[in-house]
Structure 1
Amino acid sequence: MTKNTLLVEIGTEEIPAKILNTISLSFYNNFNEQLKLYNISYTSIKYFSTPRRLALKVIDIDTSDKTIQINKKGPLIIDSYDKHGLPTEAANSWAKYCRINLDQAQRLKTKKGEWLCYNTIIKQEKTELLLPKITEIALKKIIIIKPMRWESQKQKFSRPIRNVVILLNNKIIKGKVFNIDSNNFLHHHISSKEKNLRIKNANEYPNILWYKNNIIADYTIRKEEIIKQINILAQKKDGFIKNNNALIEEVTALVESPVAFLAHFEKKFLNIPKKILVHVIEYQQKCFPIYDIKNVLLPYFIFISNINSKKPNEIIIGNEKVMHARLSDAEFFLQNDRKMKLEDYRLSLKKVLFHKNLGSLYEKTLRLQLLIEWIVQHSIGDIKIKTSIRAAYLSKCDLVTNMVCEFPELQGIVGMYYAAQDQEKKDISIALKEQYLPSFSGDKLPSTIIGCALSIADKIDTISGMFYLGKIPNSEKDPFALRRLAIGILRIIIIKNIPLDLKNLIKKSLDLYNKKHVDHLFLCKKIIKFFMTRLIYWYEKTGYDIQIIKSVLSCKSTQLIDIDKKIKAISFFKTLDCSKSIILSVKRISNILKQEDRKITGKINIKLIKKTEEIELFTHIDTFNNNTKRLFEEKKYKEILLKIKELDKPIDNFFRNIKIYDDDLEIRNNRFVLLKKLEKIFTKIINFSYLY
C-alpha cells in the first residue's frame, strides 16, 4: 500500500463572504464522497478556505493500484432461452449491455430461481489519473444559487477559477480542472507583487502561506485569531466586544491575513440612536463597536485589515474618514427625517408600489388595519384594538424616510425610534420594529401581543396577495420568501399560544383584497395546503415523528394550538409502555369494522350485554366518556390519553374471551356497535392508522 500526502488548491477570484464557508464544506464533503466511491482510503482530510482559495490536504492517501468487482444480474434463465435452447432477445440485449459474449455469462441459482449473471474483476484507473476528475466533480457538485460564467468555455462556479494545484508529495499530478492545467504554484496574497507562490511538497501546506505572507488558510484558526486580536484591543480601552458571530464569520471570510486596528469616531455621533449607530458600524462598515462595563457605547471601533502594512496610521486614518462619512450621513438623515412626524410620511406610501398588481403600500396599510382589528378581536379581545389599529396605521411609514431609503435593513427599527420620539404608546413603537420578526429561520419572535398581531397580519397579507397572482413557491424558486413568512406565522401562533383558526385568518385576508372573478374557496384550500406542508416541515425539523404529525394533520383541523397540543400529547403517549398494545387494538377494531360491508349505527342494547368481559368493557367506555367530557372541552389531550390506559386491559380481555361474530345476529350487531363506540373514542383524538 502506497501512502502519500495530497494537496488540492483551487485559486479563485474573491468568493462572496457569506457563502465561503458553505462552499468550502461542500467541496470537502463531495471530495470525500468521490474518494469513497473509488475505494481510495486515507487517514484524514483537512480543508482550508480564504476569499481567494479552496484547499484540501489528504493525509496518507492510498494511491496503489486497485481492482473493481463487477456483478451484473441478467434475466431469468427461462426468459433467456427459447424451447430450442437458443438465446432470446432479452438475453442478447443484456449481453450487449454488459459488453460480453453470451458464453462468457455465468448462472446464479437461488431459492427464487435461476438467472444469467456476469461476474468479473477489472483494474481500476490509476488513482493519480483519477484525482483531477475527482476534483472537478467535487467542485461541480457544489450547489451555487447564482454561479458565474467566464471565458469561452463558459465554465460555471461561484467565481472564476484561475489556478489549480494538485500535488502528491512533491509530484505534480497532471490534468485539467475547469480546463485549467494543474501546477505547483499557489495563489499568493492579493497585495503581493508575485502572482504565485511555488510549493515543492504537499506537506508544506498551509505553513508556507503563513511564512511567506502571513496568510492563515485555516478558516477556524483565522477566526480565532481575529477574536483574540479584537478582544486585546477592546481591553486597551477598558471595554469589550459583544458576541456577534455572524459579523465575525463574515469578516473571517473577507480576509486571509487578518490584522486588527483600533480607531475612533467623534463623540457627537453617540447621540445617534444606539441600534442605528451599531447597524452602521457593524452591518455597513463590517467593524466592531466597543462597549464599556455598563453596556454603553464608546467612541471607538475595531476594524480588520487584510494587509499588515508598514504604515498602520495611514490605514487607521483612512478607515476613520470612511466611518465619519457614514455616521455623518446617518446624522443628516435623522435630522432631516425629524422635521416631520412619522405619520406625516403616510401619504407618500401612495407613490410606493407593494406590487404592480396589488396596489401601493398605502393600500396595504389599509388592509393591515382591518386585518389586525380582526386578529386582536379573535385572540385577546377588545382591550388593545385601538392601539393595534394605530400600529398598523403607522407600520410602513418609515419605509419612505431618508434613513430607511439609505439603510433598508433598518426598516422597523427606524419606525420604532421615530414613533417613540413622537410620543406614541410604547406598545406601538415596539410593534413597528417587531412586525418583521421572525426574519429568518430560528430568529426570535415578537415579544408583545400587538407585535405578534402586526407580524401575522403583514405576513398573511403578502402570502394571500402572491397566491392571488399565482406566485406560488416551487421546489426551486420562492422569490417572495413565502415559505419563511408561513413558518413565521406558524411559530408565532403556536409558540405564543394565540387562539387563531388558520382557515378563518386566510379567508379574512383574501376577502380584504376584494378581487372579483376569483374562487376564494379554492384559493383558501390551496393556501391551507401550503401552510400544512410548512407545518410538517417545521415539526419534523423540531424533532417530532413524521407519522405522529401526519396522524394529527389528517384530521384536517386548522386550529394550530389544538394541532400542537395533539402532536405533543401523542408524542408523550408513544413513550408509554401500553401504547403499542393500544395502537394494535385500534388497528384490530378498525379492521373488524371495515370488514362489515354496512354502516354500523344504533345504540348499545344493555340487555344484550351478558358476558363479564363485554360488561367490563362497556362500563369502562361509559366511565371514560363521563370522566373525559370536560377534558375534551379543555383540549387536555395528555390527560385523556393517560385515561385511555385504563381501557387497555378491558379491550384485551374482550378480544381474548368474546366471540364477536356470535350466531345470534342481535348480539353480533350489539358487539359491533360497542366496537364502533370504542373506535369513536380514538378517532376523536387523531387518525391512529398512521401509527400502526
Structure 2
Amino acid sequence: MSSTVRNLLVELLVEELPPRSLQKLGDSFAQGLAASLQVQNLIEDGAPVVAFATPRRLAAHFGRVAPRSPDTSTPLRLMPSSIGLDTAAQATPALRKKLSDLGVDAADMPASHLRIMSDGKTEMLYLDRLIPGIPLAAGLQKALDAALAGLPIARTMTYQLADGWSSVDFVRPAHGLVALHGRDVVPVRALGLSAGRETQGHRFEARVSPIVLRDADSYADQLESEGRVIPGFAARRNEIVRQLDAVSAAPGSSPVRDAALLDEVTGLVELPNVLTGKFDDAFLDIPRECLILTMKTNQKYFPLLDAEGRLQPRFLIVSNIRPADPAEVVSGNERVLRARLADARFFFDHDRKKPLDAWRAGLDKVVYHNRLGTQAERVARIAAIAHAIAVELGDEELAAQARVAANLSKADLLTGMVGEFPELQGIMGRYYAWHDGQPDEIAYAIEDHYRPRFAGDALPRGPVGTCVALADKLETLVGMFGIGRIPTGDKDPYALRRHALGIGRILMEKGLRISLETLLGMARTAFAGAVPLDDAACTRLPDFIHERISGLLREQGYSFQQVDAVLASRPGLLNDIRARLEAVRAFTALPEAQSLAAANKRVGNILKKAGDEADATLTVDLLQQPAEHALQDTLNRIAPTVDHLIDLGEFNDALRQLAALREPVDAFFDQVMVNVPDPVLRANRLALLVRLQREMNRVADISRLAT
C-alpha cells in the first residue's frame, strides 16, 4: 500500500434501497465513516467528504486520508516519585516491577521517558508510552463496521451468503464492496464481502460491466461515462428538475412542485429521463385533488398545470431508461394511469349515489377509542363544542351552520374514495357537500376543520370552519388528556402537540376574542355525563397549550425572556399576544426597564415570603412615610390611563406609563421598611406592594425581564 496521503473511496453495492430513505442512508453512511476516521486520526481536519447514493449503492469519497495514523505519546500514571525513585534518583524495585508488568525493561528505557508531575497533592511518576498508529486497513474496518451499524434502518432483512451457510442482516442484500486508497485496494470486509475495485453500472444502460475503477478519484466520472449512472443524489435531483422544467416549459405549463415526490423519484432512478404522457380529458371531471394524488402517490408522476393553475390532461414520467424510441415506455405508463383514474372515477361516482349525511350513519359502528366511544359519539361532541363557540363568537346563524358542518365533518371517512386515499379526508367531504347542495361556508368548513395540519399550514378560511376546527382539536385534547393519554418524550401518537399548536395559531392569527379557559370549559361540558375524565390531567391542558405557543413564538424571533414575560401571567385572551410581545420588546429598550424589572422581581419575592399576610386590603390612612404616599399617588395617577390604553389594545403606550414608577419605587425601597414589627402596618405595606405588582404586570410579568 502507498505510504502517502491519498483520497479514499468506499462503495457498498446493494439491491434496490428504500427510495424515501435513500438520501438519509447515503448521508449517514458517509458521515459515519468520516466520524470514525477522524477519531482515529486517519483523515485530516477539514478534509472534504462527498456522499453518493443511488438506488443500488451507498458510497463516500474522502480527501486526504493517511495510510496510517500518526504515533502518539501518552503519559501513564505509575506511582508516587518517593516510592518509585531512591535518593540517587534511580528506579526502586517497586518501579522496576511495575515497568516489568507493563512490558518495559527499566534497564533499557531512556530516563527521558519518565516524568515527575504533581497531581495537586503528591509528586507522581508518569511513563511516556508510545502508542503506534493504526493502519488504514484496520481503521477503515472499524469505521465501516460502525457506519453500517449506525445506519437509520427501520427494518432489516436476513439473507444467505454465497457459501450457502452463513447469513447476515441488512436493509437489502449486498453484492459488492469497493475500498480504494488512491489506486490501492484497502483489504476490508463487510456483510460477507471482501473489498475490491469492481462495481456495476446501470442495470440496462451501462456501457461497461463490470466497471473496474482506476482509483478513488475516478469513481464519479467512470460511473457516469461507463456505467451511465449519476451517483450523486443532489446531482441526480438537479438533473430531474432541469428536465422537468425543460419538458414542460415549451407548452407553457409547469409541473406540480412536490419536494417529497422529487426526493422519492430521485431515489428510484439512476439515469433520469423525463417523458410526457397524456390521459383522457373526460377524467378532468374528477376532483383535481384525486387525480393529482393518484398520479403522485401510486405512479410517482408529476402532474402538469397550465398558466392559470388548472390541471392539464398531461403528466411527466421520470423513467430510468433512455430508449431510442420512448413511445412504448410512454404508452405503458398511460395504460397504467388510465386504469388508476378509472378506479378513481368509480369511487367518485359510487360515493355520490347517496348524500353525505347518509354516510354519517355508519359512524356509530366505527370505534374512535375504547374509552371515548365511537366516531358518531365523537362527532356529537364536536358539534356541541362548535355550536357553543359559534354562539360566543357570532350569532345563531353561525351557530346553526357550525353544527351542520361539524355533524358532516367525519362522514367522508366511510366513503370509497377516502378509504382508497386517506389523505383526501375533508377534501372529499367538501366535494360531496357541494354535490348535496350545501353552501360554500359548510363545504369549506368540512375540509378546513383539519387545519392547520402541519407547521405553516393555512388556517380555516371562514368563521364556520374556524369554529369546527377549534372544536375538533379541543375535543381531541380534552378527551385524550382526560383518559390519561398525555404525550411523553417524543411519543405523541394522537398528535396532541399539533392540535394544541393549531388552537394557539387560530386564536392568535384569527384575532378571536374568546379565552382559552372558556374554550376548555365548553369541551369539558361536551363530555359531561358520558365519559368520566381525570380532572387533574385536564388541569394540565392550559400549560400544555401555552408551552406549544411559547415554542412557536420563539421560532418567530421573540426572545425567551419576552415570551416568558407575556405568557407567565397566563393571559385570558391569546389574540393580542403578539401586540403584547411587541410592547415588551419596546419596553426593554427604555432606560427605566431594568430598574423596574428588578424592583418587580423584588416585590414578587417579598410577597411570596409573606404568604397569606399579603392578602390584606390597602388602607390609605395607614400610609405613614412620604415615600408610601408618593408611590400610592403615582399608582392612582397612572392606573386609569393604563386601564384605558389596555382596553384600546395600546400595550406599548401602557407599558411606557410604568416609567413614571421608577423614582417612587426606588424611593420606597430606600426609605420604607416593609417587614416592620407592627402586623397591621406590615400588612398594609404588603397590600401596597400587591397593588404595585398588579399594575406593573397588566401587560406582562416584567419581573421575567430582569437580568
* TM class, shorter-length: 0.7 to 0.9
Aligned to 1:20: 22
Larger CA Rg, structure 1 vs 2: 2
Q: Following the alignment from structure 1 to structure 2, what is the Cα–Cα distance between the partners of residues 403 and 284? A: 14
The residue identity in structure 2 corresponding to 1:610 is P
Aligned to 1:7: 9
Aligned to 2:180: 167
The residue identity in structure 2 corresponding to 1:454 is V
What does residue range 308-327 of structure 1 map to in structure 2 within 5 Å? 308-327=322-341
The residue identity in structure 2 corresponding to 1:174 is P
* 8 Å CA contact retained: 2:600, 2:702: no
Q: Following the alignment from structure 1 to structure 2, what is the Cα–Cα distance between the partners of residues 435 and 663? A: 59
Residue 264, structure 1, aligned to residue 278, structure 2? yes
1:197-255 Cα deviation digits (max 9, x unpaired): 43231101212111123211122221221122122222343433243333223222222
Aligned to 2:383: 369
Q: Following the alignment from structure 2 to structure 1, what is the Cα–Cα distance between the partners of residues 412 and 338? A: 24
SS at match of 2:52: strand
Q: Following the alignment from structure 2 to structure 1, what is the Cα–Cα distance between the partners of residues 630 and 639? A: 14
Q: Closer, same or farther in 2 for the Cα pair 1:246/1:507, shift >3 Å?
A: same
- State which drifts further: 214-223 or 288-297: 288-297
Q: CA deviation at 1:446?
A: 1.8
- Overall identity of the aligned pairs, in %: 28
Q: Closer, same or farther in 2 for the Cα pair 1:589/1:400, shift >3 Å?
A: closer
Residue 150, structure 1, aligned to residue 152, structure 2? no
Q: Following the alignment from structure 1 to structure 2, what is the Cα–Cα distance between the partners of residues 62 and 332? A: 64
Residue 44, structure 1, aligned to residue 60, structure 2? no
Residue 688, structure 1, aligned to residue 692, structure 2? no
Q: Following the alignment from structure 1 to structure 2, what is the Cα–Cα distance between the partners of residues 564 and 448? A: 22
Residue 462, structure 1, aligned to residue 476, structure 2? yes
The residue identity in structure 2 corresponding to 1:640 is A
Q: CA deviation at 1:167?
A: 1.9
TM-score (norm 1): 0.84
SS at match of 1:428: helix
Aligned to 1:129: 138
Q: Closer, same or farther in 2 for the Cα pair 1:52/1:642, shift >3 Å?
A: farther
Aligned to 1:53: 57
* 8 Å CA contact retained: 1:350, 1:360: yes
* 8 Å CA contact retained: 2:372, 2:531: no
Aligned to 2:692: 678
What does residue range 432-511 of structure 1 map to in structure 2 within 5 Å? 432-511=446-525
Q: Closer, same or farther in 2 for the Cα pair 1:690/1:264, shift >3 Å?
A: same
- State which drifts further: 261-270 or 276-285: 276-285
Q: Following the alignment from structure 2 to structure 1, what is the Cα–Cα distance between the partners of residues 76 and 620? A: 63
Aligned to 2:343: 329
TM-score (norm 2): 0.83
Aligned to 1:140: 149
Q: Following the alignment from structure 1 to structure 2, what is the Cα–Cα distance between the partners of residues 605 and 166? A: 91
Of 553, 559, 564, the match for 1:545: 559
Q: Closer, same or farther in 2 for the Cα pair 1:346/1:619, shift >3 Å?
A: same
SS at match of 1:446: coil
Aligned to 1:176: 189
* 8 Å CA contact retained: 1:7, 1:58: yes
Q: CA deviation at 1:660?
A: 4.4
Q: Closer, same or farther in 2 for the Cα pair 1:23/1:510, shift >3 Å?
A: farther
Q: Closer, same or farther in 2 for the Cα pair 1:511/1:127, shift >3 Å?
A: farther
Q: Closer, same or farther in 2 for the Cα pair 1:662/1:587, shift >3 Å?
A: closer
Q: Closer, same or farther in 2 for the Cα pair 1:353/1:123, shift >3 Å?
A: same
Q: CA deviation at 1:542?
A: 3.5
The residue identity in structure 1 corresponding to 2:213 is I
Q: CA deviation at 1:549?
A: 3.6
Residue 212, structure 1, aligned to residue 231, structure 2? no
SS at match of 1:544: coil
Q: Closer, same or farther in 2 for the Cα pair 1:606/1:464, shift >3 Å?
A: closer
Q: Following the alignment from structure 2 to structure 1, what is the Cα–Cα distance between the partners of residues 612 and 431? A: 68
Of 619, 622, 646, the match for 1:603: 619
Q: Following the alignment from structure 1 to structure 2, what is the Cα–Cα distance between the partners of residues 300 and 142? A: 39
- State which drifts further: 284-293 or 509-518: 509-518
SS at match of 2:240: helix
Q: Closer, same or farther in 2 for the Cα pair 1:553/1:314, shift >3 Å?
A: same
Q: Closer, same or farther in 2 for the Cα pair 1:151/1:499, shift >3 Å?
A: farther
Q: Closer, same or farther in 2 for the Cα pair 1:272/1:604, shift >3 Å?
A: same
Q: Closer, same or farther in 2 for the Cα pair 1:170/1:68, shift >3 Å?
A: same
What does residue range 216-231 of structure 1 map to in structure 2 within 5 Å? 216-231=230-245
Residue 303, structure 1, aligned to residue 305, structure 2? no
Q: Closer, same or farther in 2 for the Cα pair 1:474/1:520, shift >3 Å?
A: closer
Aligned to 2:87: none
Structure 2: which 5+ residue stretches go unaligned?
84-97, 105-112, 161-165
Q: CA deviation at 1:558?
A: 6.1
* 8 Å CA contact retained: 1:132, 1:166: no
Q: CA deviation at 1:190?
A: 4.1
The residue identity in structure 2 corresponding to 1:54 is L
Q: Following the alignment from structure 2 to structure 1, what is the Cα–Cα distance between the partners of residues 319 and 466? A: 41
Q: CA deviation at 1:176?
A: 3.4
Q: CA deviation at 1:370?
A: 0.8
* 8 Å CA contact retained: 1:23, 1:142: yes
Q: CA deviation at 1:325?
A: 0.7
Q: Following the alignment from structure 2 to structure 1, what is the Cα–Cα distance between the partners of residues 687 and 287? A: 71
Q: CA deviation at 1:126?
A: 3.5
* 8 Å CA contact retained: 1:165, 1:182: yes
* 8 Å CA contact retained: 1:270, 1:299: yes
What does residue range 29-108 of structure 1 map to in structure 2 within 5 Å? 29-39=31-41, 40-41=43-44, 42-68=46-72, 107-108=117-118
Aligned to 2:435: 421
The residue identity in structure 2 corresponding to 1:271 is D
The residue identity in structure 2 corresponding to 1:409 is E
Aligned to 1:91: none
SS at match of 2:9: strand
Aligned to 1:85: none
- State which drifts further: 174-183 or 485-494: 174-183
Q: Following the alignment from structure 1 to structure 2, what is the Cα–Cα distance between the partners of residues 278 and 149? A: 33
SS at match of 2:377: helix
* 8 Å CA contact retained: 1:416, 1:429: yes
The residue identity in structure 1 corresponding to 2:16 is E
What does residue range 322-401 of structure 1 map to in structure 2 within 5 Å? 322-401=336-415
Q: Following the alignment from structure 1 to structure 2, what is the Cα–Cα distance between the partners of residues 116 and 579? A: 56
Q: Following the alignment from structure 2 to structure 1, what is the Cα–Cα distance between the partners of residues 56 and 253? A: 34
What does residue range 514-525 of structure 1 map to in structure 2 within 5 Å? 514=528, 518-525=532-539
Aligned to 1:243: 257
Q: Following the alignment from structure 1 to structure 2, what is the Cα–Cα distance between the partners of residues 411 and 379? A: 27
SS at match of 2:396: coil
Q: Following the alignment from structure 1 to structure 2, what is the Cα–Cα distance between the partners of residues 296 and 597? A: 67
Q: Closer, same or farther in 2 for the Cα pair 1:675/1:348, shift >3 Å?
A: closer
Q: Closer, same or farther in 2 for the Cα pair 1:409/1:664, shift >3 Å?
A: closer
* 8 Å CA contact retained: 1:554, 1:687: no
Residue 561, structure 1, aligned to residue 561, structure 2? no
The residue identity in structure 2 corresponding to 1:56 is A
- State which drifts further: 261-270 or 179-188: 179-188
* 8 Å CA contact retained: 2:303, 2:316: yes
The residue identity in structure 2 corresponding to 1:165 is V
CA-atom RMSD, angstroms? Answer: 3.9
1:293-314 Cα deviation digits (max 9, x unpaired): 3433332111101122344211
* 8 Å CA contact retained: 1:69, 1:119: no
The residue identity in structure 2 corresponding to 1:364 is R
* 8 Å CA contact retained: 1:10, 1:55: yes
SS at match of 2:539: helix
Q: Following the alignment from structure 2 to structure 1, what is the Cα–Cα distance between the partners of residues 115 and 654? A: 65
1:358-392 Cα deviation digits (max 9, x unpaired): 33322222222112111222333434111111111
Q: CA deviation at 1:331?
A: 1.7
* 8 Å CA contact retained: 2:9, 2:180: yes
